């Protein structure tokens, strides 16, 4: 997510990191690098131009002479401007005065609208403790109804199956609303049809549905990989449907980030959610401040903590943390931690939320390589008996050969894993006594 933009911005910051003071030439050079980085990320030209002009106003000699070093001032100013164009606050879902609360999803074909409908339903289920009704109002795309039905079954969400043959999208929408009212359903999510381009038929259909169901939210699903077309699409839909928010899908792909940085600044419509993967739980609330932090390579610990809270069994985690603190953990404990990581999402995303990890990406290896290492570790441990996991000291040559065959690895892989495990235990034992003495710990950090 935004890796290329983050890398280019960090290059610009490093160019001035050792300067005691910036002259006019330094400022112009830095602003040029930032402008190029934004344009290469497919940010709207006017947005990039205005961004740099406002940034230039902040980088005055008086400001740069105070406290922080030049690169810190520039980073602070860029962070401020990123938050301004991404949106000044986190936009929440709007509730209507009566139930059901209707969410109308609109967008072009191929934007990920149907899968986003299921993700949004699961989000409501987890965050609002409610079971929304998924409604398939896309009758144009082949298998759209079957796709939504399959997704609904996967996440155990109610699905509206029209009893009328050849019912129109308008009829399906109004009938589903009556069904929801009769069943006391709090939220209804209507997945409308899309087209390959914005056209009159599509807009007329959406206008009719909106008038009939009176949604509290009309959300446009935008493919983040479409770049500048996303801005034009948002403007066209806004004219007809009076959008209340945006959902950026496929932000985990090869998106350069231009749509996210441009669409709110141009249209004024807030981004409410971002899609960060293919799994049903890969939908996140959009926080402008956190996204700005990610773009600058500063991580997003709050989102990481929220993911961990969902994935972790708190009581079990406390017990494991105690073992780690006492350097008394075994291979089963490490396996449990890997499974928690898998539940939190792709390793690349998790690493991107940790401050400083984006700058260390080259030293740490690529996410695919790291994921393979974790998968190999998991396969090896799963091929062990419970006694071998808790007492790896008993692993002799014949046991290792059996485990290698069962896990599809080699004895050398197992030896390497055991060495890393012992090194970790040794490291934790070195830190363990310090945990009992806060003053010694504080002195250790004060020397850094």
The pLDDT mean for the chain works out to 80
Candidate from 60-69, 91-100, 184-193, 394-403 with smallest mean pLDDT: 60-69
Tens-place pLDDT, residues 386-427: 899 888 889 999 999 999 999 999 999 999 888 888 877 776
In this prediction, residue 213 carries a pLDDT of 94
In this prediction, residue 439 carries a pLDDT of 45
Question: SS3 string of the chain?
Answer: CCHHHHHHHHHHHHCCCCCCCCCHHHHHHHHHHHHHHHHHCCCCHHHHHHHHHHHHHHCCHHHHCCCCCHHHHHHHHHHHHHHHHHCCCCCCCCCCCCCCEEEEEECCCCCCHHHHHHHHHHHHHHHHCCCCEEEEECCCCCCHHHHHHHHHHHCCCCECCCCCCCCCHHHHHHHHHHHHHHHCCCEEEEEECCCCCCCHHHHHHHHHHHHHHCCCEEEEEEEHHHCHHHHHHHHHHHHHHCCCEEEEECCCCCCCCHHHHHHHHHHCCCEEEEECCCCCCCEEECCHHHHHHHHCCCCCHHHHHHHHHHHCCHHHHHHHHHHHHCCCCCHHHHHHHHHHHHHHCCHHHHHHCCCCCCCCHHHHCCHHHHHHHHHHHHHHHHCCCHHHHHCHHHCCHHHHHHHHHHHCCCHHHHHHHHHHHHHHHHHHHHHHHHHCCHHHHHHHHHCC
- Distance, in Å, from the CA atom of 325 to the CA atom of 365, rounded to the nearest integer, reads 28
User: Residue 87: which pLDDT band, with cuts at 50, 70 and 90?
Assistant: confident
In this prediction, residue 362 carries a pLDDT of 47
**What is the model's pTM?**
0.68
- The CATH superfamily label for domain 304-446 reads Signal recognition particle, SRP54 subunit, M-domain (1.10.260.30)
CATH no., domain 3-86: 1.20.120.140
The candidate with the shortest Cα–Cα distance to 124, out of 149, 150, 102, is 102
In this prediction, residue 372 carries a pLDDT of 77
In this prediction, residue 70 carries a pLDDT of 72
Tens-place pLDDT, residues 358-381: 544 444 445 556 667 778 888 998
User: Residue 443: which pLDDT band, with cuts at 50, 70 and 90?
Assistant: very low
The candidate with the shortest Cα–Cα distance to 135, out of 199, 213, 202, 211, is 213
In this prediction, residue 134 carries a pLDDT of 97
In this prediction, residue 148 carries a pLDDT of 95
User: Residue 120: which pLDDT band, with cuts at 50, 70 and 90?
Assistant: very high
Mean local confidence (pLDDT), 253-264:
71
Query: Does 295 or 269 have the greater pLDDT score?
Result: 269
* CB-CB contact of 16 with 41 (8 Å): no
In this prediction, residue 5 carries a pLDDT of 81
In this prediction, residue 133 carries a pLDDT of 97
CATH no., domain 101-298: 3.40.50.300
Q: Which two tokens stand for residue 102?
A: 């209707």
Q: CATH 3.40.50.300 occupies which residues in the chain?
A: 101-298
Q: CATH 1.20.120.140 occupies which residues in the chain?
A: 3-86
Q: CATH 1.10.260.30 occupies which residues in the chain?
A: 304-446
The candidate with the shortest Cα–Cα distance to 249, out of 229, 271, 270, 231, is 271
* CB-CB contact of 315 with 331 (8 Å): no
pLDDT at 326 over 90: no
- Distance, in Å, from the CA atom of 393 to the CA atom of 31, rounded to the nearest integer, reads 59
């Amino acid at each position: 997510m935004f890796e290329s933009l983050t890398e280019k911005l960090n290059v610009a910051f490093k160019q001035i990191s050792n300067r005691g003071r910036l002259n006019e030439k330094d400022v112009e050079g830095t602003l040029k690098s930032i402008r190029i980085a934004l344009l290469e990320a497919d940010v709207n030209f006017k947005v990039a131009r205005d961004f740099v002009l406002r940034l230039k106003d902040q980088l005055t000699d008086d400001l740069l002479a105070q406290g922080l070093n030049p690169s810190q001032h520039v980073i602070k100013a860029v962070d401020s401007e990123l938050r301004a164009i991404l949106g000044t606050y986190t936009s929440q879902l709007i509730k209507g005065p009566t139930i059901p609360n209707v969410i109308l999803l609109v967008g072009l074909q191929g934007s990920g609208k149907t899968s986003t409908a299921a993700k949004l339903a699961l989000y409501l289920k987890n965050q609002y403790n409610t079971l929304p009704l998924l409604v398939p109002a896309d009758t144009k795309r082949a298998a759209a109804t079957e796709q939504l039905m399959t997704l609904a079954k996967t996440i155990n969400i109610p699905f509206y199956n029209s009893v009328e043959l050849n019912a129109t999208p308008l009829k399906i929408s109004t009938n589903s609303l009556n069904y929801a009212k009769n069943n006391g359903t709090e939220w209804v999510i209507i997945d409308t049809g899309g087209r390959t381009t914005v056209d009159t038929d599509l807009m007329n259909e959406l206008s009719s549905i909106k008038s009939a169901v009176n949604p509290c939210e009309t959300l446009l699903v935008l493919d983040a990989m479409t770049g500048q077309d996303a801005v034009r699409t948002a403007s066209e839909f806004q004219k007809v449907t009076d959008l209340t928010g945006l959902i950026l899908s496929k932000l985990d792909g090869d998106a350069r980030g231009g749509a996210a940085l441009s669409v709110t600044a141009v249209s004024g419509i807030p981004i409410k959610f971002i899609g960060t993967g293919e799994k049903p739980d890969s939908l996140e609330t959009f926080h402008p401040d956190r996204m700005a932090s990610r773009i600058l390579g500063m991580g997003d610990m709050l989102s990481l903590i929220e993911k961990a809270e969902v994935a972790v069994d708190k009581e079990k985690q406390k017990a494991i943390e105690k073992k780690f603190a006492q350097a008394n953990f075994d291979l089963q404990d490490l396996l449990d931690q890997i499974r928690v990581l898998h539940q939190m999402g792709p390793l690349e995303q998790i690493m991107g939320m940790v401050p400083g990890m984006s700058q260390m990406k080259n030293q740490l290896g690529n996410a695919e390589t790291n994921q393979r290492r974790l998968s190999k570790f998991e396969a090896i441990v799963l091929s062990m008996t419970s006694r071998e996991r808790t007492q790896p000291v008993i692993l002799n040559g014949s046991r290792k050969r059996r485990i290698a065959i069962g896990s599809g690895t080699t004895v050398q892989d197992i030896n390497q894993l055991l060495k890393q495990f012992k090194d970790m235990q040794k490291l934790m034992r070195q830190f363990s006594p310090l945990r009992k003495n806060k003053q010694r710990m504080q002195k250790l950090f004060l020397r850094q």
